[in-house]
């Protein structure tokens, strides 16, 4: 099995950029196989999150393909191994260009992750769906603490929020190598907070976040939902930084008002600055993202394959990238050209249990359930508000999340004209921008049900 791992690594190495491979896979050690899982030893928890999000499917598929008949478990048990930490550090330090690293203040609490070297503005593809968030982020990166403070970026899973906040951090450090940036997920913030309370280290925790920090990049704030004490701590952290003109960037999967169980005064802080959303990218942007990714990973990507993948995987950029890698690895393993046929075959294997399989009908059904109307109503011509409003909401969500064309949506909603769809999408979009509570509440609740 050890050999299998080495072999799989060899294949992955050929498909990932040297930087990614050295940063994320080289420090990982194979720890054997248990009854239902393989064991991977990692330097810190961040590796588990990162690998699970980006490379795990690929690793498992590669192992399985190499193992042939023998079944490889589909689960992983992560084992923290402190001795690997130095190895990981060494790997990162050889990564060009060496990003100046902020000093670590307190070594004891669970490690706070540095900026991710991979996420930069230069490899972020801008399109209509993320233009505003990108522009605000760039402004933040060049003039921190002034124009857009705080900056609040919200949007669905895998749409580039973490990428943007890291890029802001890099941009700031590039201009001012002495700027102390702190990138932290709300989850990690919570864990560190709890740890420091238990270990009587709250003073150094506060020092670290309130006085030794020039830029606080707080990812996935929705994690604080219902955690009153951590919210309280964050509120004071926020104020301390804000009043000394330090830049604060917060991301969330929903609009500030929609974060459940979040204290009103925190929400109003979030809204006091700039609020920008990232939406699912349009087809052209998805193609550009694929091309860019292919280039950085040295994958030769024929145009028709890019088009096919971009048309198939619509709601999540992470998924899009994962699919590209999967096809590339499969081509390598089977010694086949990376063509449309192979791409289609790969997609057939993964689509049924992917969220990318979400359809217009899924959205229609959930919208109907939410508003208590029938599927037939939503496709009907009835204009009563009890029906027309849910219909418009459903059209809006379909367009945002699936990127389906207006004519096709018209068709799926009982043969309506594309201009009807267009005006519905505009109307709901406008109400969202005006922060209409009814619309925000409905769209938020439905999206949660859809798991996006």
Contact positions vs ligand ADP (CB under 6 A):
119, 123-125, 130, 157-163, 289, 317-318, 321
Q: Is 424 helix (H, G, I), strand (E, B) or coil?
A: helix
Q: Is 162 in the site for Mg ion (CB under 5 A)?
A: yes
What, of ligand ADP, Mg ion, none, does residue 77 touch, CB below 5 to 8 Å by kind?
Answer: none
Site for Mg ion in 67-86 (CB under 5 A): none
Buried b (16+ CB within 10 A) or exposed e, 27-66: bbbbbebeeeebebbbbbbbbbbbbeebbbbbbbbbbbbb
Using the contact rule CB under 5 A, the part of the chain among 58-66, 99-107, 162-170, 186-194 near Mg ion is 162-170
Q: Are strands 29-33 and 274-278 parallel, antiparallel or unpaired?
A: unpaired
Nearer to ligand ADP, 127 or 407 (CB): 127
Q: How, if at all, do strands 29-33 and 37-42 pair?
A: antiparallel
Does 130 participate in binding Mg ion (rule CB under 5 A)?
A: no
Cα gap 394→401, rounded to integer Å: 10
- Residue 299 partner contact from Mg ion, ligand ADP, none using kind-dependent CB cut-offs of 5 to 8 Å: none
Is-contact 12 25, C-beta < 8 A?
yes
196 belongs to the binding site for Mg ion (CB under 5 A): no
Q: What is the DSSP letter of 244?
A: T
Shortest approach of ligand ADP to residue 189 CB, angstroms?
Answer: 16
Q: How many residues contact Mg ion, by CB under 5 A?
A: 2
Q: Under a CB-based contact definition with an 8 Å cutoff, are residues 308 and 340 in contact? A: yes
Which residue, 91 or 278, has its beta carbon nearer to ligand ADP?
278
Nearer to ligand ADP, 233 or 447 (CB): 447
Q: Which does 313 bind (CB under 5 to 8 A by kind): Mg ion, ligand ADP, none?
A: none
Q: How far is the CB of 440 from Mg ion (least distance, A)?
A: 21
Nearer to ligand ADP, 284 or 437 (CB): 284
Nearer to ligand ADP, 72 or 133 (CB): 133
Cα distances from 373 to residues 122, 392, 411, in angstroms, run 47, 13, 20
Min CB(233)–Mg ion separation in Å = 22
Closer CB to ligand ADP, 59 or 317, in the complex = 317
In DSSP terms, 219 is beta-bridged to 185
For the CB of residue 161, give the shortest distance to ligand ADP in the complex, in Å: 3
The structure tokens listed for 98 are 């060496």
Stretch that binds Mg ion, among 93-101, 157-165, 310-318, 391-399 (CB under 5 A): 157-165
Q: Is the peptide bond before 446 cis (omega within 30 degrees of 0)?
A: no
Distance CA 232, CA 317 (A): 33
Residue 170 C-beta: closest distance to ligand ADP, Å: 13
| Shortest Cβ 418–ligand ADP spacing (Å) | 27
Q: From CA 137, how far away is CA 142, in angstroms rounded?
A: 9
Identity of the residue, 280 or 409, whose beta carbon is nearer to ligand ADP in the bound complex: 280
Q: CB 138 → Mg ion: shortest distance, Å?
A: 19
* Residue of 398, 396, 377 whose CA lies nearest to 386: 377
- Please give the residue whose beta carbon sits closest to ligand ADP in the complex: 160
Burial class (CB in 10 A: 0-12, 13-18, 19+), 277: buried
Measured from the CB atom, is 124 or 234 closer to ligand ADP?
124
- Pick left, alpha or beta for residue 434 (phi over 0 → left; psi -120 to 50 → alpha; otherwise beta): alpha
Q: Which residues sit at the interface with Mg ion, rule CB under 5 A?
A: 161-162
């Amino acid at each position: 099995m050890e050999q299998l791992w080495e072999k799989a690594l060899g294949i992955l190495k050929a498909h990932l950029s040297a930087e990614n491979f050295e940063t994320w896979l080289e420090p990982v050690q194979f720890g054997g196989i248990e009854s239902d899982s393989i064991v991977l030893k990692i330097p810190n928890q961040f590796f588990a999150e990162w690998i699970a999000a980006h490379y795990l499917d690929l690793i498992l598929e590669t192992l399985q393909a190499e193992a042939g008949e023998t079944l490889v478990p589909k689960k992983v048990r992560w084992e923290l191994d402190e001795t690997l930490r130095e190895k990981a550090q060494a790997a990162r330090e050889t990564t060009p260009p060496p990003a100046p690293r902020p000093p670590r203040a307190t070594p004891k609490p669970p490690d706070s992750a540095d900026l991710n070297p991979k996420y930069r503005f230069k490899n972020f593809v801008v399109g209509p769906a993320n233009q505003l968030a990108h522009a605000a982020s760039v402004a933040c990166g060049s003039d921190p603490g002034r124009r857009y403070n705080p900056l609040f970026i919200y949007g669905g899973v895998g749409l580039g929020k973490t990428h943007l906040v890291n890029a802001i951090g890099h941009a700031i450090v590039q201009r001012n190598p002495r700027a102390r940036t702190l990138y932290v997920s709300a989850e990690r913030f919570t864990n560190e907070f709890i740890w420091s309370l238990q270990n009587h280290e709250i003073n150094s925790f506060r020092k670290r976040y309130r006085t030794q920090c020039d830029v606080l990049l707080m990812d996935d704030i929705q994690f604080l939902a219902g955690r009153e004490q951590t919210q309280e701590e964050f509120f004071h952290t926020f104020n301390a930084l804000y009043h000394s003109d330090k830049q604060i960037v917060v991301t969330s999967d929903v609009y500030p008002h929609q974060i459940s169980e979040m204290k009103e005064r925190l929400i109003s802080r979030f809204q006091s600055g700039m609020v920008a959303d990232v939406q699912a990218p349009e087809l052209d942007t998805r193609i550009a993202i694929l091309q860019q990714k292919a280039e950085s990973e040295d994958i030769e990507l024929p145009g028709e394959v890019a088009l096919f993948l971009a048309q198939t995987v619509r709601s999540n950029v992470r998924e899009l990238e994962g699919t590209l890698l999967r096809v590339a690895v499969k081509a390598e393993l089977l010694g086949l050209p990376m063509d449309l046929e192979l791409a289609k075959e790969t997609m057939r294997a993964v689509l049924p249990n992917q969220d990318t399989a979400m359809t217009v009908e899924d959205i229609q059904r959930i919208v109907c359930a939410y508003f208590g109307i029938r599927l037939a109503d939503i496709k009907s011509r009835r204009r009563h508000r009890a029906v027309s409003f849910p219909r418009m909401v459903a059209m809006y969500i379909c367009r945002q999340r699936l990127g389906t064309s207006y004519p096709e949506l018209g068709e799926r909603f009982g043969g309506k004209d594309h201009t009807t769809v267009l005006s519905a999408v505009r109307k709901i979009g406008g109400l969202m921008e005006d922060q209409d509570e009814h619309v925000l509440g409905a769209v938020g609740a439905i999206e949660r049900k859809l798991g996006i």
